[in-house]
Each structure stands twice: as C-alpha cells, then as structure tokens.
Amino acid sequence: MAHTKSQGKTRQKSNRIGKRRGVKRFGGQKVSVGEILVRQVGSKFHSGLGTKTGKDFTIYAIKAGLVKFFKKHDKQFISVVKA
C-alpha cells in the first residue's frame, strides 16, 4: 500500500481568473444605449423589448430607459422600458 497520497491534485494548482459573468444592471436602474445588462453562458435570461442578444449570449440595451425583469412562459426576460 502507498504511504503517501497520489500526486494528481498537487499538479492542478493553476489559478484561473474569473469571467466576470452575471447581471450588471438590475431592475429599475437607468441605462443608456449599448450598456451591457447581463453576461451569461447560454440563455438563462432572454432579451425582450429594447434589448438584443450578442453571439456570446450577452444581453445589451438598444435604447435608453429603465431595466425591467419579467417572466413569461417560465422563461426570464429582460427589457428596457421608457423612463
């Protein structure tokens, strides 16, 4: 029997930086055109009125206004409404 633990875990010590994903603007906050609302992997949030989705599923504002979160058919949507 081995008297020491295996060496596999000690080789995997490289720290990786975080991807800074998540919600950047919350409900009721003012946004201007082009501001990023959510960075995500996959479509946890879907874009509603006044927003668009980028190729990496980033949701951003295409008009100025207030951020609004809502659910429709068990899906979460983000939209930008007039202030």
pTM for this prediction: 0.79
Q: Is residue 77 part of a domain?
A: yes
* Residue 56 belongs to domain spanning: 22-81
Task: Tell me what pLDDT residue 8 has.
Answer: 59
Per-position DSSP letters for 2-69, written without gaps between them: -SS--STGGG----------EESS-TT-EE-TT-EEEE-SS-SEEE-TTEEE-TTS-EEESS-EEEEE
User: Within a 10 A sphere around the Cβ of 29, how many other Cβ atoms?
Assistant: 11
Q: Is residue 7 part of a domain?
A: no
Task: Tell me what pLDDT residue 71 has.
Answer: 97
CATH code where residue 35 lies: 2.40.50.100
What percent of the chain is predicted at pLDDT more than 70?
84
Q: pLDDT by residue (tens digit) across 36-82? A: 999 999 999 999 999 999 999 999 999 999 999 999 999 999 999 99
Per-residue pLDDT for 3 more than 80? no
Task: Tell me what pLDDT residue 4 has.
Answer: 65
Q: pLDDT by residue (tens digit) across 7-24? A: 655 566 678 899 999 999
Query: What does the mean pLDDT of the chain come to?
Result: 90
